[in-house]
Structure 1
Amino acid sequence: MSSTDTPHRNETQIVADPVLPKIVIIREFDAPPERVFRAYTDPDLIVQWLGPRALTMRIDQYDARTGGSYRYVHSDDDGTEYGFYGAFHEVRPNERIVQTFTYEGFPDSVSLETALFEDLGGRTRVTGTSLMDSVEARDAMLKSGMEVGVREGYERLDELLGGQQSGSADRTGTGS
């Protein structure tokens, strides 16, 4: 049974390199690259999908352009906050984002992240690669619950994009 014969559910693949301090995340979305890229770079959309469902998000700064920077905070029900920040090194519309990523709880551990947006003819494959300082830092990130946040965030992004084919209502407002 191929994915062209039946409807499918987009699955998130998270692969830790066995030797290098690297994690690769691959996910397909039922929307063109312009819409997915916008959801990655527009702060009004980012707050609607990035991270686990149980947390709320506040953006202090989000300047998604080459040379820009960001800081955002996730909060849980008891008020505990989890802050993240970084810098955008390259933002190439609808193609690529290269940025640093730091969790304020581990400020000495900075990762370099690259997101590639591949056009699949009306759908998009996003391949994210995170390169950490060490294998230990990579393993700590995996043990932190990162996988839950990534999977739930991408499910929320599917909902935001509407999982719709062209011609349906466009909740991200890109007109695609």
Structure 2
Amino acid sequence: MEQAEFTLVIERVFDAPREQVWKAWTDRDIRMQWLSPKDFSVRQDDGRICAGHEYKACMISSAGKESRYAGEYREVKEPEKLVFTHTWQNDTCGVPYIETLCTVLLEETVDGKTKMIFTQAGLRSADARRSHNGGWSECFDKLQAVV
């Protein structure tokens, strides 16, 4: 029997120009400041942001638990679109080895802000979608603080 897929969609408006939000997604030093939920920090963030290139990352909780994930950049269209796969390498934060597809769309608003539409497709349950919504939302709260 085929497993149903669930898609997560999060929209945010950032009080920053699109180029600044793009840089926060693509500059390793900035990304390490925000690309983890609260009570987590980024320990590893390796990979070149270019279509066809792989990346590896690791978050660590305040309790010392590691959450490793990896993927591949599929599309990079500066400064408006970033598409990458996301696969948990351990089961701390999700079902291991299930590949999802993340898309980040950045749109300029008339008042100089940036509307971000984030989509994660291929989640395997409503619970996984709910859990990822919580984690990504906490990441995007931190993103707002750095842009």
| TM-score strictly above 0.5 | yes
Is 1:129 the counterpart of 2:115? The answer is: no
Taking only aligned residues, the RMSD between alpha carbons, in angstroms, comes to 1.8
Which is greater in Rg? 1
What do the CA deviations read for 1:39-94 (whole angstroms, capped 9, x no partner)? 01111011101121201111241311112221111111232100111000111111
Counterpart for residue 139 of structure 2: 153
Alignment check: 8 A CA contact 1:52 1:150 kept:
yes
The corresponding residue for 1:142 is 129
| 1:169 alignment partner in structure 2 | none
* Moved >6 Å (runs of 4+): none
TM-score, normalised to structure 2's length?
Answer: 0.85
- Listed one character per residue, the Cα deviations across residues 4-31 of structure 1 (whole Å, up to 9, x for unaligned) are xxxxxxxxxxxxxxx8521111111011
**Fraction of identical pairs, as percent:** 29
Q: Which residue, out of 3, 6, 9, partners 1:24?
A: 9
Please state which structure has a larger fraction of its residues in strand.
Answer: 2
Give the distance between the partners of 1:27 and 1:54, measured in 2 at CA. Answer: 21
1:1-176 aligned within 5 A: 21-104=6-89, 105=91, 106-121=95-110, 122-132=112-122, 137-143=124-130, 145-161=131-147
Corresponding residue SS for 1:132: strand
Q: Quick check: 1:83–1:103 contact (8 Å CA) kept in 2? A: yes
| TM-score computed with the length of structure 1 as normaliser | 0.72
Gaps of 5+ in 2: none
